[in-house]
Amino acid sequence: MDKQVSLHVKCPLCDHSLMDHEHFLSGKPAVKLNITTDEDRGVVWLCSIYDCYEKELSIDVPNEQIVDFYCPHCNKELTITQLCEVCDAPMISLVIKAGGRVLVCSRNGCTNHHITFKEVGVELGKFYEEYGF
Ligand SMILES: [Zn+2]
Ligand SMILES: [Zn+2]
């Protein structure tokens, strides 16, 4: 993909935008989520560009540890029952404003994430419109 696609994502539970317009990764507003581990709680910023695995954590999380993700607005857990195909950790699910969902593995260090569209034709059309392919 030549063009970088920056995704605008929302909480699936309260519909609030998860974009942090004061924190940028790769020149785009990052996706901000609250996280907790067994020992600590903090914040993670995920790069909003599809296919970019860059992220920043406000706390130290050991590699391969599974992290719980929460919406910073409604504080509900974003983990879903679907498991990562690569490492079997729970996935988290975020809604893409243009349609569809992005699933991200909750294990630190696992880069598995993908986008799902409910109705591929319709959603892809909207997606391309919004991001101007
Ligand atoms: Zn929420
Ligand atoms: Zn995984």
| pLDDT tens-digit map of 60-116 | 999 999 999 999 999 999 988 899 999 999 999 999 988 888 899 999 999 887 777
Position 3 in a domain: no
Query: What pLDDT, on the 0 to 100 scale, is given for residue 25?
Result: 94
Which residues are paired to 79 by β-bridges? 92
Number of structural domains found in the chain? 1
pLDDT band for position 51 (50/70/90)?
Answer: confident
CA of 77 from ligand 1 middle (Å) equals 8
Q: Which domain holds residue 26?
A: 9-131
Query: What pLDDT, on the 0 to 100 scale, is given for residue 22?
Result: 97
Q: Number of H helices and number of E strands within the chain?
A: 1, 10
Asked if 76 and 14 count as a contact pair (C-beta separation under 8 A), the reply is yes
Position 4 in a domain: no
CA of 70 from ligand 1 middle (Å) equals 8
The pTM of this model reads: 0.83
Asked if 33 and 14 count as a contact pair (C-beta separation under 8 A), the reply is no
- Dihedral angle over CA of 53, 58, 63, 65, nearest 10: -110
Residue 133 pLDDT greater than 50, yes or no:
no
Query: What pLDDT, on the 0 to 100 scale, is given for residue 52?
Result: 83
CA of 86 from ligand 2 middle (Å) equals 5
CA of 111 from ligand 2 middle (Å) equals 7
Position 2 in a domain: no
Which SS3 state, helix, strand or coil, does residue 83 take?
strand
